[in-house]
């Protein structure tokens, strides 16, 4: 009996030991669980404060970045992100315009349940069920009004765990560089965590609206931040140059917001405005200035009470997602154990005093072309294919062990000027002759003449075209100019002096008919009717724009229906038409300088295209500053250009006109090439214009570049849009 008691006691002691070990093990796991979902997990500071509302939002994004992977979607409340209704698997994610059918079905089911609870939140049958009690627990004080409002705010968010893990690996390469740039600019070093939200620390990232690089800088903003964008160089893709540009933005935002905030609180410090400064990177400095002027320098109050058409979910959660990325990246071994970061890249920089090809640079500096390409991501593919020269003044990155850099630079300067030979370009599906010419920054007319083509010639995929070199262009320039003068003289003799006609269109005046306009133009009435899709009974309205030449987009649409290769490959007419419309700028994109004769002399005008700024025009004209353009157009400091408006230019020589048009074409060719390399068409749908719509607003709403919308819908360039008019919106998908 005593032996049995001793055995029982020994078993009891063993059981207590096992319980103790298990308790210690569970306690060791508590800090990790609190760091993910606990209220004390977020490390805020005086520089980056967080209110209770911001903390709740940030903890939700901590889970998005560290708990849910890329094949999981979360259905939650858009106004209260921490209110999660369901987590489900979805390989298609949330969708750009509309969620997949399975996710949409789940969203509708949750909405119906919330509305069912709103009818009887306490006494209803569903409110007493297990699912009803779970939903009610998500609300502090559930009321009918709150439940109805929440039913209309169900949002889909894709998990980001896999993407964040890769971002942590890349973070090690750029961390020290970003810290150094921010400290040199007098900014907090913790701003280094913002690229986790913007690009996942991918220096070659490209968004659907056209933002590129580590800091996702738009082409329109790049020039104002000191970055160069052209057919050969896009400094947005250079991590160091883009980081210095982002630092300039934060400095400007800090100074501007601090001046506005001190009107409310004269002793406010810049550190207290960091939530506004960080949010301005997504919403814009002017947007945050309006919020401060209306609500005051209280970020929590701005989140709760500020109302604006564009101050929506993404903007409200931008600062919270930054805090979440800061929390995870500063303790990444706790959230992603075993992640190994990439070591920093070491390089040295030299400034080129002469334009040179990639092959010549590799030979002079004794560095393989592949190494140069890896160290210089800002150079576009046209440089590595030896289609373009690296421009003068470019800061070339070389391996850190490169010796004799000064002597090699002097050797490069002594070499004769380099001229690229004529290029044999293989036509790809969707290319046009003028689009190819714009890609290589040469005249479309010269390319057509070199290949014995005309404007209506059909080129096919796989065909080889010769792109003329600079020497060939110089040789035929004089003859082309003489021919152009004779054509202009002959044309002016057939047009009355009072009639002002652009190169491809004419604006109808009161009392005019199609045939009367045709009599004053070098075109027949029948041709003018056919080009514009009109009949002799068609009624014209004042201000209507008539095409005086066949628009290239019409020619391309006709070509797409007759191309046998496209039908053989199974390409739909809709997709083919889309591919025709997203090529580099040619005749369908008005990038020419319009020259007209007035009483006071010649007048030079251009039409503003998307992503262009006064700074771009000043650079392409070689003016150095925008003061001349502002003076002749009566523009003040706060004025912003409107897409489609006409802008006056100073008097120009023919060489300056050619240079301007060449650089302008190269800028738009860069936008198109980057887009084509990163996205593909999924489908096209029609949209009716509403009050307040513009190319910029539609671009942000449907997540497509504004230049693509205006290319597909030229009517968006007009100052007055017709409400109810149907336009085409592309749905794009990353490659």
Report the DSSP beta bridge partners of residue 397: 349
Residues of the domain holding 79: 71-158
pLDDT of residue 671: 86
Together in a domain, 609 and 662: yes
Together in a domain, 605 and 707: yes
CA distance 251 to 612: 23
Together in a domain, 22 and 111: no
- The answer to whether residue 251 is domain-embedded is no
Neighbours of 396 (CB within 10 A): 22
CA distance 376 to 396: 7
CA distance 584 to 676: 10
Q: Is the per-residue pLDDT at 124 higher than 60? A: yes
The residue assigned the tokens 């092959």 is 359
Residue by residue, DSSP assigns 455-467 as TT----TT-EEEE
The residue assigned the tokens 């760091």 is 35
Together in a domain, 18 and 141: no
Confidence of residue 402 (pLDDT cuts 50, 70, 90): confident
Instruction: With H, G, I as helix, E, B as strand and everything else as coil, classify residue 575.
Output: helix
Together in a domain, 24 and 113: no
Q: How far, rounded to the nearest angstrom, does the alpha carbon of residue 187 sit from its chain's CA centroid?
A: 25
- The answer to whether residue 470 is domain-embedded is no
CA distance 176 to 134: 46
Together in a domain, 20 and 90: no
Q: Is 459 within 8 Å of 465 (Cβ atoms)?
A: yes
- How does pLDDT run across 577-633, given as a tens digit for each residue? 444 444 433 335 777 888 888 777 888 999 999 989 898 899 899 888 888 999 999
Select from 344, 358, 334, 350 the least CA-distant residue to 403: 350
Q: What is the pTM of this model?
A: 0.74
Confidence of residue 182 (pLDDT cuts 50, 70, 90): very high
CA distance 646 to 618: 16
- The answer to whether residue 302 is domain-embedded is no
- What the block records as the tokens of 53 is 């509302």
> Residues 6 or more apart from 465 whose CB is under 8 A from it?
424, 425, 427, 433, 436, 447, 451, 459
- The answer to whether residue 61 is domain-embedded is no
Together in a domain, 598 and 724: yes
Task: Please provide residue 74's backbone torsions phi and psi, each rounded to the nearest 5 degrees.
Answer: -120, 130
CA distance 204 to 380: 11
CA distance 77 to 155: 6
- The answer to whether residue 643 is domain-embedded is yes
The full 3-state SS of 261-328, as one line of letters, equals: HCCCCCCCCHHHHHHHHHHHHHHCHHHHHHHHHHHCCCHHHHHHHCCCCCCCHHHHCHHHHHHHHHHH
607 Rama sector, left if φ>0, alpha if ψ -120 to 50, beta otherwise: beta
Q: How far is CA 355 from CA 409, 423, 666, 718, in A?
A: 12, 18, 17, 40
- What the block records as the tokens of 512 is 């005019």
Interstrand relation of 545-547 and 505-507 (parallel, antiparallel or unpaired):
antiparallel
Q: Is the per-residue pLDDT at 554 higher than 60? A: no
How many separate domains does the chain show? 4
The most confident of 265-269, 434-438, 553-557, by mean pLDDT: 265-269
Return the DSSP state at 643: T
Q: Is the per-residue pLDDT at 14 higher than 60? A: no
Together in a domain, 604 and 714: yes
Is the model more confident about 4 or about 321?
321
Q: How many CA atoms lie within 13 A of 692 on its CB side?
A: 4
Is the model more confident about 300 or about 43?
300
CA distance 123 to 119: 9
Q: Is 81 within 8 Å of 57 (Cβ atoms)?
A: yes
Say which range, 369-383, 535-549, 711-725, has the weakest mean pLDDT: 535-549
**Dihedral angle over CA of 552, 555, 557, 558, nearest 10:** 180
Is the model more confident about 472 or about 374?
374
Last residue of a domain, one of 141, 158, 175: 158
Last residue of a domain, one of 136, 158, 180: 158
CA distance 427 to 459: 8
- The answer to whether residue 689 is domain-embedded is yes
- The answer to whether residue 381 is domain-embedded is yes
pLDDT of residue 640: 78
Q: What is the mean pLDDT of residues 437-465?
A: 76
pLDDT of residue 30: 38
Together in a domain, 22 and 131: no
- The answer to whether residue 672 is domain-embedded is yes
Q: How far is CA 214 from CA 163, 196, 197, 224, 319, in A?
A: 14, 9, 10, 17, 18
Last residue of a domain, one of 362, 383, 414: 414
Average pLDDT score, the chain: 80
Together in a domain, 116 and 35: no
CA distance 131 to 127: 8
Neighbours of 73 (CB within 10 A): 27
Together in a domain, 34 and 90: no
Q: How many residues does the chain have?
A: 735
Together in a domain, 604 and 730: yes
The most confident of 122-131, 305-314, 580-589, by mean pLDDT: 305-314
Confidence of residue 654 (pLDDT cuts 50, 70, 90): confident
Q: Is the per-residue pLDDT at 682 higher than 90? A: no
Task: Please provide residue 550's backbone torsions phi and psi, each rounded to the nearest 5 degrees.
Answer: -65, 115
- How does pLDDT run across 478-492, given as a tens digit for each residue? 444 544 444 444 444
């Amino acid at each position: 009996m005593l032996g049995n008691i001793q055995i029982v006691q020994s078993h009891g002691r063993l059981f207590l030991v096992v319980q103790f070990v298990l308790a210690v093990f569970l306690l060791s796991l508590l800090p990790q669980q609190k760091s993910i979902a606990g209220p004390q997990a977020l490390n805020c500071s005086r520089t980056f404060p967080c209110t209770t509302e911001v903390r709740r939002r940030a903890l939700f994004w901590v889970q998005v970045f560290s708990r849910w992977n890329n094949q999981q979607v979360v259905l939650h409340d858009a106004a209260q992100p921490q209110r999660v209704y369901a987590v489900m698997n979805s390989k298609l994610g949330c969708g750009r315009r509309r969620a997949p059918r399975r996710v949409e079905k789940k969203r509708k089911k949750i909405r119906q349940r919330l509305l069912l609870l709103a009818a009887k939140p306490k006494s209803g049958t569903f409110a007493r069920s297990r699912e009803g009690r779970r939903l009610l627990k998500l609300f502090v004080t559930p009321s009918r009004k709150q439940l109805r409002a929440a039913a209309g705010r169900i949002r889909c968010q894709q998990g980001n765990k896999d993407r964040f893990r890769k971002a942590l690996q890349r973070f090690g390469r750029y961390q020290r560089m970003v810290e150094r740039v921010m400290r040199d600019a007098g900014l907090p070093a913790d701003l280094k965590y913002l690229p986790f939200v913007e690009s996942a620390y991918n220096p070659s990232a490209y968004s659907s609206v056209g933002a590129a690089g580590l800091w996702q800088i738009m082409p329109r903003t790049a020039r104002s931040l000191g970055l160069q964008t052209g057919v050969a160089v896009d400094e947005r893709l250079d991590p160091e140059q883009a980081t210095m540009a982002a630092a300039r933005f934060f400095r400007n935002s800090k100074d501007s917001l601090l001046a506005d905030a001190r009107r409310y609180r004269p002793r406010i410090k810049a550190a207290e405005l960091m939530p506004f400064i960080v949010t301005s990177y997504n919403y814009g400095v002017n947007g945050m200035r309006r919020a401060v002027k209306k609500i005051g320098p209280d970020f929590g109050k701005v989140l709760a009470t500020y109302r604006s058409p564009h101050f929506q979910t993404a903007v409200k959660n931008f600062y919270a997602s930054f805090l979440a990325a800061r929390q995870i990246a500063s303790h990444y071994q706790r959230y992603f154990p075993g992640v190994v970061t990439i070591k920093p890249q070491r390089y040295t920089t030299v400034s080129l005093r002469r334009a040179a090809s990639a092959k010549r640079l590799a030979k002079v500096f004794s560095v393989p072309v592949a190494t140069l390409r890896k160290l210089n991501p800002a150079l576009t593919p046209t440089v590595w294919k030896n289609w373009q020269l690296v421009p003068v003044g470019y800061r070339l990155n070389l391996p850190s062990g490169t010796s004799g850099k000064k002597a090699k630079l002097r050797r490069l300067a002594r070499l004769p000027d380099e001229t690229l030979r004529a290029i044999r370009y293989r036509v790809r599906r969707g290319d046009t002759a003028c689009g190819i010419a714009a890609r290589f920054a040469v005249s479309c007319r010269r390319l057509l003449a070199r290949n014995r083509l005309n404007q209506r010639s059909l080129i096919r995929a796989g065909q080889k075209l010769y792109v003329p070199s600079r020497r060939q262009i110089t040789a035929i320039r004089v003859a082309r100019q003489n021919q152009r003068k004779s054509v202009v003289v002959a044309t002016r003799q057939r047009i009355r002096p009072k009639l002002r006609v652009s190169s491809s269109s004419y604006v109808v005046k009161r009392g005019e008919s199609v045939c009367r306009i045709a009599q004053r133009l070098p075109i027949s009435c029948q041709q003018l009717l056919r080009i514009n899709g009109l009949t002799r009974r068609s009624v014209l309205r004042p201000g209507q724009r008539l095409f005086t030449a066949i628009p290239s987009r019409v020619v391309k649409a006709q070509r797409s229906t007759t191309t046998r290769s496209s039908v053989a490959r199974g390409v739909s007419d809709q997709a083919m038409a889309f591919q025709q419309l997203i090529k580099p700028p040619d005749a369908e994109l008005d990038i020419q300088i319009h020259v007209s004769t007035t009483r006071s002399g010649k007048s030079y005008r251009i039409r503003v295209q998307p992503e262009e700024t006064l700074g771009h025009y000043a650079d392409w004209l070689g003016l150095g500053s925008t003061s001349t353009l502002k003076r002749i157009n009566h523009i003040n400091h706060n004025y912003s250009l409107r897409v489609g408006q006409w802008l006056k230019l100073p008097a120009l020589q023919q060489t300056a006109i050619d240079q301007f048009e060449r650089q302008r074409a190269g800028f738009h060719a860069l936008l198109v090439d980057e887009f084509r390399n990163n996205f593909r068409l999924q489908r096209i749908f029609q949209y009716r214009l509403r009050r307040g719509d513009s190319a910029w607003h539609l671009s942000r709403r449907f997540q497509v570049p504004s230049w693509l919308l205006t290319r597909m819908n030229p009517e968006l360039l007009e100052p007055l849009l017709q409400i109810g008019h149907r336009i085409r919106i592309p749905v794009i998908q990353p490659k």
